[in-house]
Structure formats: structure tokens, C-alpha cells
Amino acid sequence: MGDMASPPTGIDLLKTELPVDQEAFVLNGDVKTGLVMVDLVNGFCTVGAGNLAPMQPDKQISGMIEESVRLARAFCDKKWPVFAFLDTHHRDVPEPPYPPHCIAGTDEANLVPELQWLENEANATLRRKDCIDGFIGCVEKDGSNMFVDWVVNNQIQAVSSF
């Protein structure tokens, strides 16, 4: 009889193709580290801020924001690079199966209030993206990639993501 093992899952395949170690680390400066924050915008995190925002306070979201602020402050205090993806969509471009959300020019597409100070941080790069995949959302018309440029220009060797 054949092997009864179940086929690999998508995450198993991804781990094989893109091996990433998930481990705790101490921010000691030995390794050039960048912080990547994904979609910490009102439209996903602020109560009642939009179609995909929480309808009532959520302890997990509040804890995530608190930890994000703590990490962002630690990185900025050390002048380490921070990259924040901001989900931002055009009003006239539907995105099935999702309802309209994080529309450009609305408060939904802005950082949560606790992180808005990043807009004035010299070592913080904010990127509005109109797709689920931030890496693809960083591709410029000339074929370059803003995220790749950020990694290269900052000589980043490790990434902490939140």
C-alpha cells in the first residue's frame, strides 16, 4: 500500500521554500534589525472605524497595539529602521470578497492614533498599499520595490514583524 501521510499544507510548503526562524531576540545592536508593521490602521483596529473594524473593544487588538507602540518606540529611540504598511484602497476599485474598507483619504486608512507619531519619525517609512500582499504593493512603476530598497539601504540582516 502507498504512503498514508497527508499531503503537505500550504504553510509547510512555504516554510520549505522560505525558511524563516521564529525566535525571540534581544535588541542589542549586534545584528542590523528592522521593524515591519502591517496594517495597524483605524479601518482594522479602531472600534467602529469602518466595515472591517472591530464593533466593540477587543483585548487582543488593544494588546497588539500596545506591543506595537512599545516596539516602535524602542526601535525609534535607537534610530533603527521601521517600515509600516498601511492598507489603502481606491473608492472606485472593488475588492471582492471584501466590502469597501480603508479608503484613501479617509481616517480608516490612517495609522491608529497611538502610532501616528511615526509619521514624523525620520527612521520610519510608511507605505500605503492597495493589495493584501505588502511586498507586491511595494512594486513601483519602474519595477523597483520600495521594501527591497528599504532592506538594502538600511543593510537589514533581521526583521521583527508585527
For 85-101, the pLDDT digits (tens) are 999 999 999 888 999 99
C-alpha cell at 119: 509619521
C-alpha cell at 160: 521583527
The residue behind cell 501521510 is 5
Whole-prediction pTM: 0.81
Residue among 162, 160, 144, 38 nearest 88 (CA): 38
Given this model, what pLDDT does residue 151 score? 92
Q: Whole-angstrom Cα distance, residue 1 to residue 121?
A: 62
Domains, in order of start, for the chain:
28-161 (3.40.50.850)
